């Protein structure tokens, strides 16, 4: 595929599907305690074998239930958490996830005073350390840490550019070079977080890839 065509594919992908998961969940992401915590919860929800739209809807439901910071999440009754998960459609793993959300909230509070900027400071600019610390939260494994880092790079510059294996799977599905440097070059001024989210959408949804290729071909 010629370089000009590759740029057209990236342009079509980002134009139609370049929305971060934080944006979809209604999180106005900034380097502040509440939005960072809400992003952590979203990463927990997206980590399970649940469709992305359900995880996003559940993140919104938890916020609407008032469970939007570690203190409220840990202090809520278990039934409050389970009910909010159910309203979002997150029923298959609701009991286990309710426990994980509570335990993670307590960890944030006990270790960093409820403020994930403390985790950032502890990592001291090392992405590998950020990834390790994130995986200490219940329900956050390598995939969940990747989700958080792909999104948080928008406000934590030391994490950028972050195009992980899942994003590169999307590139391969689009017949784009699976090279972070090349993809970033093709994307021009597109934020790495937006590019990463769009590529992940292509990786998990064949229809996104087909739509983007079709749009690029007709442009």
Tokens 């202090």 — which residue? 75
Q: Where are the alpha helices (DSSP H) in the chain?
A: 3-17, 21-24, 33-47, 52-64, 70-75, 78-87, 94-112, 117-123, 127-134, 142-152, 165-173, 180-187, 192-204, 206-218
Instruction: Please report the pLDDT score of residue 2 as a whole number.
Output: 44
Instruction: Please report the pLDDT score of residue 55 as a whole number.
Output: 94
Instruction: Please report the pLDDT score of residue 4 as a whole number.
Output: 52
74: left (phi over 0), alpha (psi -120 to 50) or beta: alpha
- Nearest-CA neighbor of 101 among 75, 120, 128? 75
Instruction: Please report the pLDDT score of residue 3 as a whole number.
Output: 46
Mean pLDDT by 10 residues, the chain (219 residues): 76 97 97 98 91 94 96 96 93 86 97 98 98 96 97 97 97 96 97 98 96 93
Is residue 162 within 8 Å of 184, Cβ to Cβ? no
């Amino acid at each position: 595929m010629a370089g000009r065509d590759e740029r057209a594919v990236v342009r079509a992908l980002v134009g139609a599907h370049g929305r971060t998961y934080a944006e979809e969940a209604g999180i106005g992401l900034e380097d502040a305690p509440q939005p960072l915590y809400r992003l952590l919860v979203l990463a927990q929800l997206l980590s399970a074998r649940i469709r992305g739209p359900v995880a996003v809807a559940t993140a919104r439901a938890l916020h609407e239930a008032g469970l939007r910071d570690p203190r409220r999440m840990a202090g809520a009754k278990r039934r409050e958490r389970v009910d909010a998960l159910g309203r979002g459609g997150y029923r298959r793993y609701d009991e286990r996830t309710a426990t994980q959300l509570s335990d993670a909230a307590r960890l944030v509070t006990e270790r960093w005073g409820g403020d994930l900027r403390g985790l950032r400071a502890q990592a001291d600019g090392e992405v590998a350390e950020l990834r390790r610390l994130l995986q200490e939260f219940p329900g956050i494994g390598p995939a969940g840490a990747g989700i958080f880092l792909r999104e948080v790079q928008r406000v934590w510059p030391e994490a950028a550019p972050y195009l992980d294996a899942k994003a590169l799977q999307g590139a391969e599905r689009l017949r784009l070079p699976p090279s972070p440097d090349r993809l970033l070059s093709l994307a021009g001024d597109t934020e790495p977080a937006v590019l990463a989210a769009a590529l992940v959408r292509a990786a998990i949804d064949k229809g996104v890839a087909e739509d983007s290729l079709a749009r690029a071909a007709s442009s």
